[in-house]
Amino acid sequence: MTATPPHILVVDDEPDTLGLVQLTLETAGFKADAAGSGGEALLLAQKQAYDLILLDIMMPDMSGFDVYKRLQTTLTTVPPVVFLTAKNRPEDREAGEGLGAAAYLLKPITRGQLLDVLRRTLGENH
């Protein structure tokens, strides 16, 4: 019997980044859904249980921080959240970690770095 692959929600308003990350995850054996906005991410997260959410911070409809806060108030169980962002100010990292993020990654990131962090984060919960 084979294990079910971890199911990850990727949230980014840049279509190229979204597609590349989703493809990277799928070729690495993960199941990945994509959301192009914070609102879309919230809708998907309410319909489907995810093992991890990979979340951009700077999006036009709402910030990744706001998405994470909404998830914390609307979901019974919030999966680990990994922020993947271009925001590299120390106060942004502190804000993400203060919300309880499992990791805070800066763009650009290599495929290997991304997969290492995701596997490490998922390993703690699977």
Q: How far is Cα 77 from Cα 112, in angstroms, rounded to an integer?
A: 28
Give me the residue label for tokens 């319909």.
47
Q: How confident is the model at residue 2, as a pLDDT? A: 61
pLDDT at 3: 80
For domain 7-123, the question of CATH label 3.40.228.10 is answered with no
| Phi–psi pair at 106, nearest 5 degrees | -100, 135
Sheet holding 31-35, edge to edge: 31-35, 7-11, 52-55, 81-85, 103-106
pLDDT of 125: 55
Res 19: pLDDT: 96
> What pLDDT score was predicted for residue 124?
59
Domain boundaries defined on the chain: 7-123
Q: Where are the extended beta strands (E) located within 17-100? A: 31-35, 52-55, 81-85
Cβ atoms of residues 57 and 92 within 8 Å:
yes
Tens-of-pLDDT digits for all 126 residues of the chain?
A: 468 999 999 999 999 999 999 999 999 999 999 999 999 999 999 999 999 999 999 999 999 999 999 999 999 999 999 999 999 999 999 999 999 999 999 999 999 999 999 999 999 555
∠112-114-106 over CA atoms, to 5°? Answer: 120
Burial class (CB in 10 A: 0-12, 13-18, 19+), 81: buried
